């Protein structure tokens, strides 16, 4: 075997070891950190990524006009909106998961209509 080459069996073993080490590190972080920190991080992730990408996935599957630039605008807007919404404390009034979904959906629809209209002219 040449230097730098890893057999498939060795790669499988290596990936299992890395997964096990990362699992132990994650478990230790979960035990050491305050419980509300983990919940907060997961909430940010679900609001920012989950709500934004759900709009992108749903519209890409069910609407042929939705594509490229509107999808990118939806992702950027959703992520920025989530950070701003949570940072301003508005998350205590209305959950960021719902608001991010609605804002991302509006941006997706409007940007698709505007960009498609300009390309068809």
pLDDT at 20: 95
The pLDDT of residue 121 is: 47
The pLDDT of residue 118 is: 55
Domain ranges of the chain: 1-32, 33-120
Question: Percent of the chain beyond pLDDT 70?
Answer: 92
Regions of the chain where pLDDT drops below 50? 1, 120-121
76 contacts 109 by C-beta, under 8 angstroms: no
Give which of 47, 38, 109, 43 is closest to 78, Cα–Cα: 47
Contact between 67 and 20 under an 8 Å Cβ cutoff? The reply is no
């Amino acid at each position: 075997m040449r230097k730098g080459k890893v057999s498939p069996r060795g790669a499988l073993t290596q990936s299992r070891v890395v997964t096990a080490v990362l699992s132990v590190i994650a478990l230790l972080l979960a035990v050491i950190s305050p419980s509300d920190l983990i919940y907060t991080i997961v909430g940010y992730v679900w609001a920012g990524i989950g709500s934004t990408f759900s709009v992108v996935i749903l519209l890409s599957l069910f609407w042929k006009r939705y594509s490229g630039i509107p999808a990118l605008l939806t992702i950027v807007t959703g992520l920025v909106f989530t950070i701003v919404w949570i940072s301003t404390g508005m998350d205590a009034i209305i959950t960021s998961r719902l608001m991010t979904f609605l804002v991302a959906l509006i941006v997706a629809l409007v940007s698709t209509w505007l960009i498609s209209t300009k390309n068809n002219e």
